[in-house]
Amino acid sequence: MNAAEITEDHVRAARRAYYGAISYVDDHMSRLIGLLRDTGRLDSTVVIVTSDHGEMLGERGAWYKMSFFEGAARVPLIVRAPALFPPGRVPSAVSTMDLLPTLVARDEVTAEYLAEGAIAPIVMIRRGRHKFIHSPADPDQLFDLASDPHERVNLAGVSSSAERAGQFLREVAARWDLTTLDREVRHSQQRRIAVSDALRTGAQAPWDFTPAYDASRRYIRNHRDLADLETMARYPPVEHRAPFA
């Protein structure tokens, strides 16, 4: 078997692992909800569950994120706010870019991708049932997600959708200067590569900051009182009180 071949068993195994991860998050959310209920804070607390990106799990032969297909671009946005509104589903497109206007009212999402797997900027506009994807390196893509939820039919080259595709393309040009964006990203990459090469010279040190601390004041010592140390470790801090006479 070719090492790059992905079988149906691989796809099923990956999806089982993904479902397991969802179950793990569900368990922790249940613990959080239970704690809020036990402390009498549940009905006065807004709970929001969301994520930074989705995952392609074999759909279209694709994996990970790194695209604007629905599997990668869609994220959960679950809001529990019983004091504000009853349970329900909202069909409008929303974005995590700014939750406040998203929760108030918005049916439009814009996004851009400039990381691994991309040879040029990739941008996306989602409005209502339509999603438009543009990259200077690839043909445009326009999908009607209501009639084509699996994004199989690209309407960008269909004459009946030419006006809509053209309007989206004009919006892309007005919103993004892709030539400048591409140039700035490549310059940033060059600078980071230079820094990475420099850090590999001589003795290597981790890039992350590790604050120094005085170990003599961090653990139990004969000269320290146990009550003082425990007080320092509590949160919120406990007000220091003089011992009884």
Q: Where are the domains of the chain?
A: 46-217
For range 65-93, the mean pLDDT: 86
Q: State the chain's mean pLDDT as an integer.
A: 85
What pLDDT is recorded for position 5?
81
Contacts within 8 Å (CB) and 24+ apart, 165-170? 165/132, 165/140, 168/125, 168/130, 168/132, 168/134, 168/142, 169/132, 169/134, 169/140
Most confident of 6-10, 17-21, 91-95, 233-237: 17-21
pLDDT tens digit sequence for 124-137: 999 989 999 999 99
173 band by pLDDT with thresholds 50, 70 and 90: very high
Under CATH, which architecture does the 46-217 domain have?
2-Layer Sandwich (3.30)
What pLDDT is recorded for position 229?
66
1 band by pLDDT with thresholds 50, 70 and 90: very low
Most confident of 57-66, 185-194, 230-239: 185-194
What pLDDT is recorded for position 214?
76
